[in-house]
Amino acid sequence: MGAIVRTYREWKLSGDTAWMRSLWPAVKKALAYAWHPDNEHGWDRDRDGVLEGAQHHTLDVELYGPSAYLNGYYQAALLAASRMGEAVGDEDAAEYARLYAQGREWIDRHAFNGEYYRQLLDLADDRYPIDPELGQIKYQIGEGCHIDQVIGQWHASIAGLGDIFDPGQVRRALASIYRHNFASMRGHANANRVYALNDERGLLVCTWPNGGRPLVPVP
């Protein structure tokens, strides 16, 4: 999805529509993988504009169920594809725009809790690998305030795509990240990489200001 947004960005910067047109079949194929029945990860098999399946991300684990974090990349890619498709006269552009609008509306309505965007995780979904000892799925965000919840909006803004989420909600989400996650590092252990320590302040990857922290949370 990020590669689709980058293709849009390079096309807009260069103005080279012939170059973009040469890549357009590959862009369409990449986007369609999200809902392809052979996609073992089941990202958006019901083709409703919302990612639900196993989504591998930069922390080297999978996120399950809808979240603004990873759905933001999908929304940006759908919007970028709709605009590129319009430029090359592809009738599928309208479908990409419809999926974008539907997914954006769903995430804004269901994932935002009034303060920030959270992960929606249905433990009754038999596709998800629930740990029998924990009764949970490892490495999830759940009700947490996550550092990258609106990173898709950041990419969309840089590429000139505009708003992919409600602007007011994005501002409240960013304020929540600053309020809940920007903290002194004293007392916060990190099993992975350490970029700050003791009384230095930095952003924690995730906090749970309203409770609900998983037993084995996102790294």
In 3-state terms, what secondary structure has residue 206? strand
* pLDDT value of position 134: 85
Residue 170: Cβ within 10 Å count? 23
Residue 54: Cβ within 10 Å count? 18
Q: What value does the CA radius of gyration of the chain take, rounded to a whole number of Å?
A: 18
128 vs 22: CA distance, rounded Å = 38
Q: Is the residue at 129 inside a domain?
A: yes
Token pair for residue 16?
């080279």
Q: Is the pLDDT of residue 10 over 90?
A: yes
Token pair for residue 103?
């997914």
Q: Is the pLDDT of residue 14 over 80?
A: yes
Select from 83, 48, 50 the least CA-distant residue to 69.
Answer: 50
Q: Is the residue at 214 inside a domain?
A: no
Run of H or E residues at 20: helix 17-32
Q: Is the pLDDT of residue 111 over 80?
A: yes
pLDDT band of residue 128 (cuts 50, 70, 90) is confident
Q: Which residues contact 125 (CB under 8 A, 6 or more apart)?
A: 52, 64, 65
CA separation (Å) from 130 to 56, 64, 91, 144, 192? 16, 11, 41, 19, 23
Average pLDDT over residues 91-109: 97
Q: Is the residue at 219 inside a domain?
A: no
Total count of domains within the chain: 1
Q: Is the residue at 215 inside a domain?
A: no
When mean pLDDT is compared over 10-14, 32-36, 215-219, the highest value belongs to: 10-14
Q: Is the pLDDT of residue 122 over 90?
A: no
Token pair for residue 8?
């849009």
Q: State phi, psi for 27 to the nearest 5 degrees.
A: -60, -45
Q: Is the pLDDT of residue 139 over 80?
A: yes
Per cent of the chain over pLDDT 90 is 78
Domain around 201? 2-207
Average pLDDT over residues 92-100: 98
Q: Is the residue at 216 inside a domain?
A: no
pTM, two decimals, is 0.94
Token pair for residue 26?
């590959």
Mean model confidence pLDDT for the chain: 94
pLDDT band of residue 3 (cuts 50, 70, 90) is very high
Q: Is the pLDDT of residue 123 over 80?
A: no
Run of H or E residues at 146: strand 145-146
Q: Is the pLDDT of residue 190 over 80?
A: no
* pLDDT value of position 121: 83
161 vs 23: CA distance, rounded Å = 19
* pLDDT value of position 73: 97
Average pLDDT over residues 4-30: 98
* pLDDT value of position 67: 96
13 vs 23: CA distance, rounded Å = 16
Q: Which residue blocks in 111-206 are alpha helix, DSSP H?
A: 151-159, 167-181
